[in-house]
Structure 1
């Protein structure tokens, strides 16, 4: 599948994969100087890219596992959803869950983009839903830890 992508700046980097079978494509910080994210704060970081996701798909912006595990940095909304009709700049709201300030340098990998299909549905309002063994049992109701 080919996806159209537009560089909005001369410094923007096209997303890359870390390996041949990686599902995620690394997104890079398109900033002009170092950016410090203080503990428990969020910074919006542009990628300098606009992406034309095909109809029937969306761009899911996930944390990079190394950045999350080693530096406590993750997308503030945990998973960003970029709809196929969005044509603006992809911006990652990166949150620092740690106790130390973290620095993002120009060109750092800040998140990963996974292009995923979705189902368009219609909701049908009813007065009752079908019965199941679990029923309305919520958190912890199946005995899982």
Structure 2
């Protein structure tokens, strides 16, 4: 099949650029935001309220914890891009080194793993999203076309006992390898 990037149908007329390497020896292909996107700061009322209660040694209810947890929840920044891979490859999605230092943005999962069977799945056509959390004090606006992450093509191995014939077929998109 080959290794390549393509734009998903939703963004066909959005004037997106396919990921590319910025320098001759760069390992990563830079991903850009497909649209303007707000990454909210985690320092919201519910989080501060719970932290204040903990600091004051007051009781915190399950509801208050749940509300604070929602404020910590990462967001999925759309790229409008899908990737075609060989069957023994994955795309490792990593943060740009400048994001945490300059902008307070991290990938809460450390790295993302895009499997070869993610592309063209029925639920989202295999669109790649960059999962982000904003530890800055203010909400951060990512502009369309701004570089937000990088993808590195990687090979992987399987055990001799791996039973390929009994594997399920992916039906869903983001976070669906549990099938």
TM-score range, shorter chain: 0.7 to 0.9
Instruction: Please report the TM-score for the alignment, with normalisation by the length of structure 1.
Output: 0.75
| 8 A contact 2:5–2:19 mirrored in 1 | no
Instruction: Please report the TM-score for the alignment, with normalisation by the length of structure 2.
Output: 0.62
Matching residue of 2:113: 81
Q: Cα offset for 1:35?
A: 2.2
| 8 A contact 2:105–2:133 mirrored in 1 | yes
Q: 2:132 aligns with which of 87, 90, 94?
A: 94
**Runs of 4+ with deviation above 6 angstroms:** none
Q: Which structure features the higher share of helix residues?
A: 2
| 8 A contact 1:49–1:90 mirrored in 2 | yes
Q: Cα offset for 1:44?
A: 1.1
Q: Which runs of 5+ in 1 are unaligned?
A: 124-145
Q: Cα offset for 1:4?
A: 2.7
May I ask how many residue pairs the two structures share in their alignment?
A: 121
Matching residue of 2:37: 35
Matching residue of 1:52: 84
Matching residue of 2:158: 120
Q: Which structure features the higher share of strand residues?
A: 1
Matching residue of 1:19: 23
CA RMSD of superposed structures (Å): 1.9
Q: What secondary structure is seen at the aligned counterpart in 2 of 1:70?
A: helix
Q: Cα offset for 1:58?
A: 0.4
